[in-house]
Amino acid sequence: MGAFAQPVNRCATCACTIPHGVRQCGACVLRPPPLDGCLAAVAYAYPWSNLVADFKFRQHPAWAASFAQLMRATPWVEPAIDAADALIPMPLSRQRLQERGYNQALLLARALEAHKVASDILLRVVDTPPQRTLTRSERLLSVRHAFAVEPLQAHRIRNQRVLLVDDVMTSGASLHAAAQALRQAGAAHITALVLARTE
């Protein structure tokens, strides 16, 4: 499978593929995202798209360890994990969690660095439609107020470095909304780390 996971040059703040020698894509230069950094292990394409779907929807939670190993092998991920004060998995709504039985982002975060995982800080307060079914503008609107920081836990991320973990990044709308909530609560530096990034 290593042949399908060769490192590619990605934008430092949205992880889309860009030419070698370039640090940021034009979109991020013009409209800086609320993330200080963004890292992705693989493209959301064959075979990874099928494997991620199995992991997420077809009861294969044990794959988290292998996926985390792949993520750790990605350039700049090890330093990002080492520098982070907390790994915060993207939360699921209560209904989605009951349907699936587990949060795939939490499983990835635990497999990456269990002792740094803080899964009780970021909350999903609005159950949004599946992002893959929406246009970019619809995604931005649907997640605008979907996340909040638990008020009694906010002190744990104030002036801290946070690594926001998820399985797939598409438009970035959910990650950006989560990052904004963390930033408003006082997080000093926020990097997103995802297994797969749509191209």
Among residues 10, 4, 17, which one has the least CA distance to residue 48? 4
Residue 110 lies in a domain: yes
Per-residue confidence (pLDDT) for residue 35, from 0 to 100: 97
Residue 179 lies in a domain: yes
pLDDT means per 10 residues in the chain (199 residues)?
66 96 96 97 93 91 96 96 98 89 96 98 81 59 83 97 97 94 97 95
What's the structural domain count of the chain?
A: 1
Per-residue confidence (pLDDT) for residue 89, from 0 to 100: 98
Residue 2 lies in a domain: no
Residue 183 lies in a domain: yes
Per-residue confidence (pLDDT) for residue 140, from 0 to 100: 55
What is the Cα–Cα distance from 102 to 96, expressed in whole angstroms? Answer: 9
Per-residue confidence (pLDDT) for residue 111, from 0 to 100: 98
Residue 119 lies in a domain: yes
Per-residue confidence (pLDDT) for residue 81, from 0 to 100: 98
Per-residue confidence (pLDDT) for residue 93, from 0 to 100: 86
Residue 187 lies in a domain: yes
What is the Cα–Cα distance from 146 to 128, expressed in whole angstroms? Answer: 7
Residue 10 lies in a domain: no
Residue 16 lies in a domain: no
Per-residue confidence (pLDDT) for residue 80, from 0 to 100: 98
CATH of the domain at 166: 3.40.50
- Give me the domain span that covers residue 188: 35-197
**What is the value of pTM for the model shown?**
0.91
